[in-house]
């Protein structure tokens, strides 16, 4: 550690420099976190009446079917994303290393585009694609002679989760593609050259060199999938608002509904705490499993 040197200002001066940024960060992230814990012990609708009810909110939360349904929906999106985003992205990343694959630069540029767009835009765009009468999807099915496949994509509780998950997966494939591509560049060429001399086919090389070398990248990608999809909100708010009924509600949407439609701010805080705890728990579990695999 480069400690005492001629250029080091006094500690008090350092703290003064850190203060503005730290203050904003503490005010927006740390204080609300602590306050949410406090509010979750109250029955409170935002007015002057706050009744301390101990753990009642959490007891109710554990028995709240909609909360657990929304958690399951988050899990569904996470699993689909791990298969869809990480899987497809890895496959494409491998393909883009093959000499016979064409238009590489085009693929790289284009697949990443949905990433930079607002989730709200993606949500609206896909509501339009799913629209029953004018949507791109039903139009294409019609044109392909598959009229029987035409469905009310966002209005049928039994398929709505799949319908809302596809745009979420679709939007972020490019992100994972870039992660895998930059990780693959760090694998030393000698490994592949040695394998080639031994007569390993390119798919064998992928299986025995690329995959094992990318273990930590896979771990990071899966963690990002979990962290990113526990907070998913915008897409679903725009496409279905969590409906029909509560069939496509996710935790963030549920916390929003409880707090801002039902005005139960105490219970809404408890839902938020539950959401944070479950997210951190899942991330932790995925890390532990990942670590264990490494040994």
The 8-class DSSP code of residue 8 comes to P
Q: How far is the CB of 22 from other proteins (least distance, A)?
A: 7
Nearest residue (CB) to other proteins, 36 versus 191: 36
**Cβ pair 154, 160 in contact under 8 A:** yes
Nearest residue (CB) to other proteins, 49 versus 158: 49
Nearest residue (CB) to other proteins, 3 versus 63: 3
Q: How far is the CB of 197 from other proteins (least distance, A)?
A: 16
**Cβ pair 74, 230 in contact under 8 A:** yes
Nearest residue (CB) to other proteins, 18 versus 59: 18
Q: How far is the CB of 268 from other proteins (least distance, A)?
A: 5
Nearest residue (CB) to other proteins, 161 versus 273: 273
- How many angstroms from the chain centroid is the CA of residue 114? 15
| Cα gap 122→114, rounded to integer Å | 8
The 8-class DSSP code of residue 147 comes to G
The neighbour count for residue 108, using CB atoms within 10 Å, is 16
Place of tokens 């693929």: 107
Q: How far is the CB of 26 from other proteins (least distance, A)?
A: 8
Q: How far is the CB of 216 from other proteins (least distance, A)?
A: 7
Peptide bond into 244 cis (omega under 30): yes
Closest CA to 186 of 159, 223, 216: 216
Encoded tokens for 171: 């939007």
């Amino acid at each position: 550690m480069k400690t005492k040197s001629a250029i080091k200002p006094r500690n008090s001066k350092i703290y003064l420099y850190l203060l503005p940024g730290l203050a904003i960060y503490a005010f927006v992230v740390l204080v609300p976190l602590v306050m949410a814990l406090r509010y979750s012990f109250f029955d409170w609708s935002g007015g002057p009446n706050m009744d301390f009810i101990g753990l009642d909110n959490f007891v109710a939360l554990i028995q709240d079917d909609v909360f657990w349904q929304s958690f399951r929906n988050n899990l569904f999106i996470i699993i689909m994303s791990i298969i869809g985003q990480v899987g497809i992205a890895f496959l494409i990343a491998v393909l883009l290393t093959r000499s016979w694959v064409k238009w590489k630069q085009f693929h790289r540029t284009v697949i990443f585009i949905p990433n930079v767009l607002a989730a709200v835009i993606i949500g609206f765009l896909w509501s339009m694609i799913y629209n029953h009468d004018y949507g791109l999807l039903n139009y294409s099915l019609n044109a392909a002679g598959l009229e029987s496949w035409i469905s009310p994509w966002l209005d049928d509780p039994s398929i709505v989760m799949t319908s809302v998950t596809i745009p979420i997966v679709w939007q972020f494939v490019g992100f994972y593609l870039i992660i895998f591509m930059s990780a693959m560049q760090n694998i030393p060429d000698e490994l592949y050259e040695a394998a080639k001399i031994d007569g390993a086919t390119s798919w064998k090389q992928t299986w025995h060199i690329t995959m094992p070398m990318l273990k930590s990248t896979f771990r990071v990608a899966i963690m990002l999938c979990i962290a990113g999809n526990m907070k998913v909100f915008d897409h679903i708010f725009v496409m279905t608002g969590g409906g029909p009924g509560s069939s496509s509600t996710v935790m963030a949407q549920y916390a929003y509904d409880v707090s801002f439609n039902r005005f139960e701010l105490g219970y809404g805080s408890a839902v938020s705490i539950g959401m944070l705890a479950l997210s951190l728990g899942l991330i932790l579990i995925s890390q532990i499993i990942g670590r264990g695999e490494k040994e």
